[in-house]
Amino acid sequence: MNRLALSRPVNRLIVGALLALLPMLSAWNLMMPNRQVQIGPTLGGVTNEMPVNFSWSSIRDGSFQKAIANRLTEAFALRPILIRINNEIRLELFGELTAPHVVRGAKGQLIERTYLDD
């Protein structure tokens, strides 16, 4: 049998453990909100946390699922870097500013609107 074949239990175990890393990081981030592991730059925006209400009516109307999905999105370890990549590409390719309170000044400088308002 090929030593690298995925049919070998040890190989399956290694691949499984590697694949489980990301879900385990998400679980860690959910359980330890103060010691979260996030890959990428710190995000400036704040997301309103929806309360997780576990009841038959909240499951039926989908609000429970939505709240859980939002929590998991926040806890996803690669979220900061992925958002950064998206923002960078939108700015470079389309000149689009994704941050709501940022404007483009002279020579393409990015300025927070609050400074202008002051």
Partner 1 sequence: MLFYEPLFVTFFLAFYALYLQATGALAKKCTLLLASALFYIWGEPVFVLVLLVSTAIDYALSFHLNKPTPERMRRLALAAGVAGNLGILVVYKYADFLIDNVNLALSPFGPHKIALLHPALPIGVSFVVFEKITYLVDTWRSVSRPAASFIDYCLFVLFFPKLLAGPILKYHEMKDQIAAPSAIEWSDLFDGFLRFARGIGRKLLIADPLGTFANQIFAADPATIGTGYAWLGLACFTLQIYFDFAGYSDMAIGLARTLGFRLKENFNSPYVSQLLTEFWRRWHISLTTWIRDYLYAPLGGNRRGEARTFVNLWICFLASGLWHGASWNFVLWGAYNGLFLTLDRLFLRDALQRCGAFIATSVTLFIVVIGWAIFRSEHTAHLAPFFAALFGTSTASTALEVPPEVPLALVIGAVVSLFPATRLYPALVRLHERHLWLRLITIALLLVIYILALARAFAVPFQPFVYFRF
Rg (alpha carbons) of the chain, rounded to whole number: 21
Nearer to partner 1, 85 or 110 (CB): 85
Q: Which residues contact 114 (CB under 8 A, 6 or more apart)?
A: 101
Q: Residue numbers of the site for partner 1 (CB under 8 A)?
A: 4-7, 9, 12-13, 15-17, 19-20, 22-23, 26, 59-60, 65, 68-69, 72-73, 76, 79, 82-83, 85-87, 89-90, 93-96, 98
Kindly state the smallest distance separating residue 35's Cβ from partner 1, in Å: 19
| DSSP-assigned states of every residue in 14-48 | HHHHHHHHHHHHHHHHHH-GGG----SSPP---PP
Nearer to partner 1, 56 or 114 (CB): 56
Kindly state the smallest distance separating residue 50's Cβ from partner 1, in Å: 14
